[in-house]
């Protein structure tokens, strides 16, 4: 006999959020703020631990968070690292009253564009500031806004099943499994200890009237949603052809080399992006993010087009060689290639970038190294953001490279749009299929076109080196609300 025969109303949550990252947590916080309290958030991680990198919350994301819950917004703002004038340029005499800026330069050291890093300048221009915060700190701050029993780790989603006879969705989970390595994660994952005794896995089912998939770019909810459908080939993320190759720090540089880099590029900034201005239209054109850690200590991140097979080899020496060849083809100066040559292999890291395209009717400018789905999709085909009582948010529906720092920010905008349409459905005890379908349709129509614009911008190598295009982008993305 099915366990469904023994279920009561109290056994079914109003909303189950799969994924306890910032977007999933913000969605749950927003729903509770709007009176929907019978909520549970689950996550596959064995335990919440410090992972992830520093991310930027920009005006659009902070505005969305403030609308979701002012208290959560204030907590995040307090926890965040406000980048104000704490790191003034070295030449105080020639930079009085200047706040730090992120500068884009060509290979001759000439400025192409720049934007401020101070909270106040962003706030004065767009009505909200800019905050940098470690991913784990953001997750922890948002998690603390929810009752502890509303967020559960060690619940890995393995299946999603609609149960129309109960007007709900069943999510099957496993617990106490070995940590599963996520190949799409933006951080280094801890590999399970093969000698460690693991507890037997347990399987349990959780039911809810609505299920929100906020479980990242490798979303299990997305895979279940598209299973046995025309969109099945879109379930897994696609490799964009781009990867990041970085070095945390190159210490004790030769004095002459450091002075040469400093004189040509670091005169007015401690963080800048360098690229070949004469090759902007080429999508394979590498971009180097250069960071001055301290005197004679530099770090960098290079975004470049690399074949996925090279990254899977996990040979850092091969990766360094390929990176140097790419920089040489793009005519990067000797001082910068020498910096890469001097990078200790143990300090090198790499990260491939993936995407979930929101539309197949528009052509995105991918490099030749991209590994896209080969299915012959109809040109008008657009993968749905929901099915029945299940809906996707954040990277689960539109994961993309972090070139414009819009991943988390667009996810927070998703959270606001979705919580608004759900709250507008009225009495949660009488949510029916028609109401839910209309709410999810409204959510998608509110968000899809902007996400398409953002994905175009992220992959367009020339857009942000035209001052007018740069200004238009900022007005469209940051001046909302």
Q: What CA–CA distances, in Å, run from 393 to 156, 325, 424?
A: 18, 39, 18
For 210-221, give the DSSP string.
Answer: EEEE---TT-HH
Are residues 169 and 161 in contact, defined by beta-carbon separation less than 8 angstroms?
A: yes
Would you call 345 helix, strand, or coil by DSSP? helix
Residues in the chain: 481
Are residues 100 and 81 in contact, defined by beta-carbon separation less than 8 angstroms?
A: no
pLDDT at 37 (0 to 100): 94
Report the C-alpha gap between 144 and 454 in whole angstroms: 31
Q: Are strands 271-275 and 101-106 parallel, antiparallel or unpaired?
A: parallel
Q: What CA–CA distances, in Å, run from 4 to 10, 40, 151, 158, 170?
A: 13, 19, 24, 19, 10
Are residues 102 and 464 in contact, defined by beta-carbon separation less than 8 angstroms?
A: no
- CATH, domain range 240-353: 3.30.9.30
pTM above 0.85, yes or no: yes
Residue 328, classified by CB atoms within 10 Å of its CB into exposed (0-12), middle (13-18) or buried (19+), is exposed
State in words which class domain 3-83+128-237+356-478 has.
alpha beta
Q: What CA–CA distances, in Å, run from 104 to 57, 64, 77?
A: 20, 28, 27
Report the C-alpha gap between 370 and 190 in whole angstroms: 27
Provide the 8-state DSSP code for 234: G
115 bridge partner residues: 102
What's the start-to-end Cα distance of the chain, in Å?
52
Nearest by Cα to 109 from 273, 285, 224, 220: 273
Parse the chain into domains and list their residue ranges. Answer: 3-83+128-237+356-478, 240-353
Are residues 56 and 132 in contact, defined by beta-carbon separation less than 8 angstroms?
A: yes
pLDDT digits (tens), the chain, 481 positions = 445 444 455 689 999 999 999 999 999 999 999 999 999 999 998 888 877 788 999 999 999 999 999 999 999 999 987 554 444 444 443 444 456 888 989 999 999 888 888 888 999 999 999 999 999 999 999 999 999 999 999 999 999 999 999 999 999 999 875 555 566 655 555 555 544 445 557 889 999 999 999 999 999 999 999 998 888 889 999 999 999 999 999 988 899 999 999 999 988 788 899 999 887 778 889 999 999 888 789 999 999 999 999 887 778 899 999 999 999 999 999 999 999 999 999 999 999 999 999 987 778 889 999 999 876 566 567 889 999 999 999 999 999 999 999 999 999 999 999 999 999 998 888 899 999 999 999 999 999 999 999 999 999 876 666 777 888 888 899 987 6
Which string of b and e fits 24-48 if b means at least 16 CB within 10 Å?
A: bbbbbbbbbbeebebbbbbbbbbee
Would you call 16 helix, strand, or coil by DSSP? strand
Other C-beta atoms within 10 Å of 432: how many?
A: 9
pLDDT at 427 (0 to 100): 80
pLDDT at 224 (0 to 100): 94
């Amino acid at each position: 006999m099915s366990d469904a025969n023994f279920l009561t109303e109290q056994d079914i949550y109003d909303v189950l959020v799969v994924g306890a990252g910032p977007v999933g947590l913000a969605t749950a916080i927003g729903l509770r703020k709007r009176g929907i309290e019978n909520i549970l958030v689950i996550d596959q991680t064995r335990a919440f631990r410090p992972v992830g990198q520093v991310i930027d919350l920009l005006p659009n994301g902070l505005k969305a968070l403030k609308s979701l819950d002012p208290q959560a917004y204030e907590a995040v703002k307090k926890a965040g690292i406000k980048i104000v004038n704490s790191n003034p340029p070295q030449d105080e005499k020639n930079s009085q009253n200047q706040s730090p800026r992120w500068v884009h330069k060509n290979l001759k050291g000439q400025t192409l564009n720049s934007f401020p890093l101070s909270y106040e300048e962003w706030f004065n221009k767009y009505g909200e500031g800019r905050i940098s915060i470690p991913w784990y700190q953001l997750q922890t701050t948002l998690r603390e806004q929810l009752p502890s029993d509303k967020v559960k780790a060690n619940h890995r989603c393995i299946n999603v099943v609609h149960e129309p006879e109960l007007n709900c969705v069943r999510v099957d989970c496993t617990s106490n499994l070995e940590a599963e390595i996520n190949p799409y994660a933006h951080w280094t994952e801890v590999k399970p200890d093969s000698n460690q005794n693991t507890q037997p896995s347990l399987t349990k089912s959780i039911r809810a009237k609505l299920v929100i998939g906020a479980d990242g770019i490798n979303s299990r909810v997305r895979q279940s949603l598209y299973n046995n459908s025309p969109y099945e080939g879109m379930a897994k993320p696609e490799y964009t052809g781009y990867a990041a190759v970085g070095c945390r720090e190159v210490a004790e540089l030769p004095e002459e080399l450091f002075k040469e880099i400093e004189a040509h590029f670091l005169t007015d900034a401690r963080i800048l992006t360098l690229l070949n201005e004469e090759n902007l239209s080429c999508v394979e054109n590498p971009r180097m993010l250069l960071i001055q850690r301290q005197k004679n200590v530099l770090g960098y991140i290079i975004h470049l087009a690399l074949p996925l097979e090279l990254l899977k080899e996990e040979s850092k020496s091969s990766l360094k060689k390929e990176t140097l060849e790419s920089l040489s083809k793009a005519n990067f100066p000797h001082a910068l290639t020498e910096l890469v040559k001097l990078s200790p292999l143990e300090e090198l890291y790499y990260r491939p970038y993936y995407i979930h395209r929101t539309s197949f009717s528009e052509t995105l400018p991918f490099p030749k190294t991209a590994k896209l789905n080969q299915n012959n999709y109809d040109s008008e085909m657009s993968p749905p953001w929901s099915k029945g009582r299940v809906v996707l948010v954040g990277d689960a529906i539109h994961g993309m490279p972090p070139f414009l720092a819009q991943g988390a920010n667009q996810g927070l905008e998703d959270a606001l749009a979705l919580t608004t349409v759900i709250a507008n459905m009225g009495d949660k005890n009488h949510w029916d299929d028609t109401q839910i379908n209309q709410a999810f349709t409204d959510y998608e129509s509110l968000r899809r076109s902007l996400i398409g614009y953002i994905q175009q911008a992220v992959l367009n190598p020339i857009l942000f080196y035209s001052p007018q295009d740069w200004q238009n982008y900022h007005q469209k993305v940051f001046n909302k609300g």
